[in-house]
Amino acid sequence: MESSLSFSPETQARFGSPSKNRLKWAIIILFWTFFGLLSGSQLYFGVRMEGLHLPFWRVFGVNLLGWWPWILFTPIVLTLARRFPIERGTWWRVLPIHLFACLVIWVVHFAFFTYVGMVWSPFGPPRTPRSFWDMFIGRAMSEFHLDLLIYAATLGVSYAVSYYFRFREREFRAAQLEAQLVQAQLQTLKMQLQPHFLFNTLNGIAGLVRDSRNKAAVDMLVGLSDLLRYTLENAGKQEVPLKEELEFLELYLDIQQMRFSDRLKVEMHVSPETLDALVPNLILQPLVENAIRHGISRRMAAGTISIRAERDDGLLSITINDDGPGLKRDDGSKAVDGVGLSNTRARLTQLYGEQQKFTLADRPGGGVEATLVIPFIRST
């Protein structure tokens, strides 16, 4: 049965690299060296306080070497912790394994500790010679609890680190899923917008054919093919430089000017520093289409659409004006958002959250002004 503390291949790739293993070994070596130095210095200064003048290097060295075996024991305990996790429902099966492993480590550790003590004799030759077994039993019985506590603490640290990495992995996967969801929602909005735009354009071509303006209809079809080619080339992009968005908009306006002839005038006031700024792909076309449909097409005389883009500190501001009759319909009711404007609001919210602003309001001098404000981010 696979351990519930094991990581996915992605997590192992991120946290199991050679550099991570070297760092792990460095931490283990430094920790037990520090622990041995601390234990040795404490013992030395303790016997000095008792009036015993013993060789520093012997007292200090024996304790340092005595704790160094844990440099090898620690990876073993970490491996056992990963292979046999103590969890609810299975603890009674794996606990004996850890107790047995702790017993083996205890025997090996204190056998080594006893041997080093006999060779170096930090407290001098004993008054009464003692056998290795007697010294081993004496040390092991008096300090057994230390190895037990160290083993348990190592297990605890192992589980804490494992659960931390699992938590980070869940966060990482949740962020990935959220990003994928946002991308899917944005793609859905674009897929809704493109058929809407295509239908309106084809409807305009049909109107030209009904009016026997065949050359204009053919030119409009050619322009439509250019628009579709551009749309396909940028299908996978959520954001494009403003310069590319304006190129697409000019293709669209060329088609509309074929339809409205001299009734449509377009003015562009674009600051050069804004051309490299990123904007949502196909964000301006529905705004201009809205201005043409509810502004220019409702006028008998010629109308003007003005497009302005400028930078305001860390923001990009784009305004689209028309000089039509305003937001109210011919029957006096207030116009509601269609597919294009609804998609525009939804896409801006998905991409920028609270950092964006989109307003649509009547102009004091007549007509409608659409204002789009987003963070100013240069394309790379």
C-alpha 220/C-alpha 258 separation (Å) is: 7
Q: Please give the pLDDT value at position 321.
A: 93
Residue 105 tokens, joined: 């480590």
Average pLDDT, the chain: 80
Q: Please give the pLDDT value at position 325.
A: 83
| Cβ neighbours for 249, distance < 8 A, ≥ 6 positions apart | 284, 285, 288, 307
Statement: 213-375 belongs to CATH 3.40.605.10: no
Closest listed residue to residue 322, CA positions, set 368, 276, 261:
368
Sheet of 368-375, strand order:
264-270, 303-312, 315-322, 368-375, 357-362
Dump pLDDT digits (tens) for 54-92: 676 777 778 788 889 999 999 999 999 988 988 877 788
Q: Please give the pLDDT value at position 303.
A: 87
Q: Please give the pLDDT value at position 177.
A: 61
C-alpha 328/C-alpha 326 separation (Å) is: 6
Q: Please give the pLDDT value at position 195.
A: 64
Which residues of the chain fall short of a pLDDT of 70?
1-17, 52-54, 56, 121-129, 177-197, 235-236, 329-340
DSSP 123: T
Residue 317 tokens, joined: 């501001």
Closest listed residue to residue 171, CA positions, set 23, 352, 348, 14:
14
Render 201-223 in DSSP notation, one character per residue: HHHHHHHHHHTT-HHHHHHHHHH
Q: Which residue has the tokens 């070994």?
A: 25
Domain ranges of the chain: 9-176, 213-375
Dump pLDDT digits (tens) for 123-161: 656 666 677 787 788 777 777 788 889 999 999 988 888
C-alpha 34/C-alpha 68 separation (Å) is: 10
DSSP 7: P
Residue 16 CB neighbours (<10 A) = 12
